Amino acid sequence: MSTDTPDTARAAAGTGRIRDLRDVPSFPAVWAAAIAPRPGVRRSRELPDVAYRVRDVRIDPDRAAAFDHLVGGAATDIVHPGVLHVLAFPVSLALMARPGFPAPLPGVVHVSNRILQHRPIHVGETVDVECRVQGLRPHHRGRTFEAVTTITSGDDIVATDVSTYLARGEGSAGQRPEREEFVPPAVSARWTLPADIGRRFAQVSGDANPIHVSALGARAFGFGSAIAHGMYTASRAFSGARVDLHRPFRWDATFDAPVTIPGTVLVGYTDDEVGGRPRTGAVGWKPAREGRAPRPAFTIEVETLG
């Protein structure tokens, strides 16, 4: 059940109406809607001018603790920011599953993520989650767009999550940029990822995309084997960065190449300052095969603010 409500400030900004959802959508329901045949429905050339919102979403302590443990962190009363992303993800996914959405949901790839968090968020808190999509642009492999989720408590914005997705195929434009030579930093950690890590992360995140949970499902979408969730690797790297969650921060993640599972990932951390603010970077890469140079699989950067 949902209702559409006008929003004066949003309409003035050109972002249309808000649709209030009764609950956070379930992944199976969204996925079923995305692959259901829709005879006569054509895909739009424009992103939908609507935001989806779910009010009074409680951050479950058990789920937050399970997330912390899986990504290598200690469970505390402060929420790992990766939990905020998985809280927002089903809402943005529901938007992408709308009839006529410009890109088919199956095959859409998460290529980067940014979270700006303004204050510590505690387990058990109740927040509102609102998502919209924007910025449909040509890419040399298809088109990209952003899912922008605002997480609020009362009248205060506590965090913003911006996920960039690639819709492969149609609308591709431009040449592939030249790849810079990758010089791996000193190894800080070595991860051994088991074959079931995709299924285990799906259990705590709700993201049961077939490309992550089975080799057969991955091959159906053009991948040679199952691949780890990007937000699993980024969240695990974030845990290793030991960020002070009591302070505002910005967390950027880029997913450069799929991490196949089972497999091994090497991770290197760097630390510096920007204008007196601590900044931690991390890059993960797969061990080089004989005759092949290593290439980054993911990078993160965390900057403490204020």
Asked whether the predicted pLDDT for residue 13 surpasses 50, the reply is: no
Answer whether residue 56 shows pLDDT above 90: yes
Contact 122, 79 (CB under 8 A): yes
pLDDT above 50 (res 60): yes
Q: In the predicted model, what is the mean pLDDT of the chain? A: 88
Q: Do domains 1-176 and 179-306 have the same CATH topology?
A: yes
How confident is the model at residue 104, as a pLDDT? 86
Residue range 122-151: mean pLDDT, rounded = 94
Which of 77, 58, 75, 54 shows the shortest CA–CA distance to 66? 75
Q: Where are the domains of the chain?
A: 1-176, 179-306
Q: Decide if 130 contacts 52 (C-beta within 8 A).
A: yes
Average pLDDT over residues 122-148: 94
Assign a CATH topology to domain 179-306: Thiol Ester Dehydrase; Chain A (3.10.129)
- pLDDT tens digits, residue range 242-295? 999 999 999 999 999 999 999 999 999 999 887 788 889 999 999 887 667 888
Q: Quick: pLDDT tens for 154-195.
A: 999 999 999 999 987 766 666 677 778 888 899 999 999 999
In the prediction, which pLDDT does 170 show?
Answer: 65
Q: Tell me which of 227 and 9 has the higher pLDDT.
A: 227
* Residue 126 pLDDT exceeds 60: yes
Band the pLDDT of 304: cuts 50, 70, 90: very high
The predicted structure's pLDDT at residue 219: 87
Backbone φ and ψ for 35, nearest 5 degrees, come out as -100, 0
Q: The pTM is what? A: 0.89
CATH code of domain 1-176? 3.10.129.10
DSSP state of 42: P
